[in-house]
Chains A and B, each alone.
Chain A
């Protein structure tokens, strides 16, 4: 796992109260939403919390209605890359 992925995973675990989740067991390509068996099993309320946490930490505003956000929410890797790209562009 990249350092940037580790950092964002730590942020998500804190923001979403997922204290049972071990960082070293996270697959950065696993889906964030939907099936709790193979991925994170997050839902729309978590999405709002993630958007808030990312805005507070990185100053990046997310829009749920953007196709880019939908793609960014596919996995931890995709989200890290998207936030980095938005910060570089800002």
Chain B
């Protein structure tokens, strides 16, 4: 690839706000100054873990690393096991966070004014960030992102989802370390000229307060779990320009209800960590997805592939697609991926972690069949004669993100493996009910 350089940030209008914090606005110029100051102070290591929780600090780190030619690692959780794996895979990586710690480099917004327009360009083809997915082998897979690719998706998402709108106020309930959060809550405001709420409102009343603190046109970037909570709580939000949902399919009835209650279009984003955003749709308009500009999907035999000019090569998807003209339908998941509130894990990986616990003889993490798909957690059956269920959960909680802790986790005498060594889900389901 060519060694092309591009500006990190459009600073033509330095006073246009980019972040909103509780104590006020941060303009694009002020942000650039903070980035420049942070880039000067960063320790010289090829890799750094970006654990910052506020979008302002996260973005400062993302951009400062890009300026320095270093790569930010974006772990999907701060769970001890994930951190241990990253420390092994990237020896010497610095931990960057807003909270001070013995092994942490503390990020703050100190730093003066930037000499406007003088922020140096960045190498558009260098890996500025690495996101992590649970690959089919069960091990977290690194996914390198270039500044060119991230910036491209941010700009295209802005044109697609916020067409005709300028200087939107974005409030997001997803973490910036997740690909959807990175593209829709960081790159979209950076590349599209919008302003984003720095915090991550968790409860309906937090979302309302954050949206109220910002001027129209307002946009909520969220997940089906949060949409459900907003609807059930009856929270009255200020006027929205649109509501964007991703990480899991939004039930069409819920989208319909949300459009009525909030008087705004509900737009869904479909993507994956490997390719980023692939397509969008307005849920109530039907089940067809429209690929982003510059993206083409293809099915080859039983494989679905995404092509994009910003992607290094074709990316295979975990889902089965049916193509209709330029658009496509999702026919179902091709594997055992589990997604909870923007976090992903594979059942194979969770089972592997379970089996790594000393005292666990055999076990399986699987997806039980229940009525409510959205809040579905995995269940587990474990053979461990000398451990209690709470001891197993305690040990597992140190290895995996708590979102994926099996519920329920039941001890049994032995697993009913069939003749080919597989565990039929119907049998597991029955054992879970009986245990």
Which chain A residues have a beta carbon within 8 Å of chain B's beta carbons? 17-20, 34-38, 41-45, 47-49, 51-52, 55-56, 61-65
Contacts of A41 in B (CB 8 A): 393-394, 397, 402, 405
Interface flag for B403 (CB, 8 Å) = yes
Main secondary structure of the interface of A (DSSP, over half): loop
Name the CB-closest residue of B to A20. Answer: B408
Interface flag for B391 (CB, 8 Å) = yes
Q: Which parts of B274-326 form the interface with A (CB within 8 Å)?
A: none
Given contacts A36-B390, A36-B393, A36-B394, contact A55 B233 (CB under 8 A): yes
A61 interface neighbour in B205, B390, B394, Cβ under 8 Å: B205
Given contacts A20-B408, A37-B397, contact A65 B403 (CB under 8 A): no
Name the CB-closest residue of B to A55. Answer: B233
Report Cα–Cα, A65/B207, bound state, in Å: 10
Q: Which of B132-140, B196-204, B257-265, B359-367 contacts A (4 or more CB under 8 A)?
A: B196-204
Known: A18-B407, A43-B405. 4 other contacts (CB 8 A): A35-B394, A45-B340, A51-B229, A63-B205
Report Cα–Cα, A30/B282, bound state, in Å: 44
Pair B202/A48 contact, Cβ less than 8 Å: yes
Pair A52/B206 contact, Cβ less than 8 Å: no
Nearest Cβ in chain A — how far from B363, in angstroms? 16
Given contacts A36-B397, A64-B203, contact A45 B341 (CB under 8 A): yes
Contacts of B229 in A (CB 8 A): 48-49, 51-52
B201, B395, B397 pick with most chain A CB within 10 angstroms: B397
Nearest Cβ in chain A — how far from B79, in angstroms? 11
Interface flag for B226 (CB, 8 Å) = yes
A51 interface neighbour in B203, B341, B402, B407, Cβ under 8 Å: B203
B201 interface neighbour in A17, A47, A52, A64, Cβ under 8 Å: A64
B202 interface neighbour in A18, A44, A56, Cβ under 8 Å: A44
Report Cα–Cα, A44/B77, bound state, in Å: 12
Pair B232/A52 contact, Cβ less than 8 Å: yes
Contacts of B6 in A (CB 8 A): none
Nearest Cβ in chain A — how far from B358, in angstroms? 14
Pair A63/B405 contact, Cβ less than 8 Å: no
Nearest Cβ in chain B — how far from A44, in angstroms? 6
Sample of 11 A–B contacts (CB below 8 Å)? A20-B410, A36-B394, A37-B390, A37-B393, A41-B405, A49-B375, A52-B229, A55-B233, A56-B233, A61-B204, A63-B205
Contacts of A38 in B (CB 8 A): 394
Pair B205/A62 contact, Cβ less than 8 Å: yes
Nearest Cβ in chain B — how far from A68, in angstroms? 13
Contacts of A49 in B (CB 8 A): 229, 375
B225 interface neighbour in A45, A51, A56, A61, Cβ under 8 Å: A45
Given contacts A48-B226, A52-B232, contact A37 B394 (CB under 8 A): yes
Contacts of A42 in B (CB 8 A): 402
Pair B402/A43 contact, Cβ less than 8 Å: yes
Q: Which parts of B377-418 form the interface with A (CB within 8 Å)?
A: 377, 389-391, 393-397, 401-403, 405, 407-408, 410
Contacts of B357 in A (CB 8 A): none
Contacts of B402 in A (CB 8 A): 34, 36, 41-43
Contacts of B225 in A (CB 8 A): 45, 48
Given contacts A17-B407, A41-B405, A45-B340, contact A35 B206 (CB under 8 A): no
Contacts of B233 in A (CB 8 A): 52, 55-56, 61
Contacts of B410 in A (CB 8 A): 20
A35, A36, A49, A55 pick with most chain B CB within 10 angstroms: A36
B206 interface neighbour in A19, A34, A55, A64, Cβ under 8 Å: A64
**Top-6 shortest CB links A-B:** A37-B394, A64-B202, A43-B402, A36-B393, A51-B203, A61-B205
Contacts of A62 in B (CB 8 A): 203, 205
A47 interface neighbour in B199, B202, B226, Cβ under 8 Å: B202
0/1 interface trace, chain B 95-124, chain A, CB 8 Å (1 if under): 000000000000000000000000000000
Contacts of A51 in B (CB 8 A): 202-205, 229
Report Cα–Cα, A34/B393, bound state, in Å: 11
Nearest Cβ in chain B — how far from A24, in angstroms? 15
Nearest Cβ in chain A — how far from B275, in angstroms? 26
B391 interface neighbour in A17, A37, A47, Cβ under 8 Å: A37
Pair A35/B201 contact, Cβ less than 8 Å: no
Name the CB-closest residue of A to B203. Answer: A51
Pair B203/A48 contact, Cβ less than 8 Å: yes
Report Cα–Cα, A55/B206, bound state, in Å: 13
Contacts of A37 in B (CB 8 A): 390-391, 393-395, 397
Nearest Cβ in chain B — how far from A37, in angstroms? 3
Contacts of B423 in A (CB 8 A): none
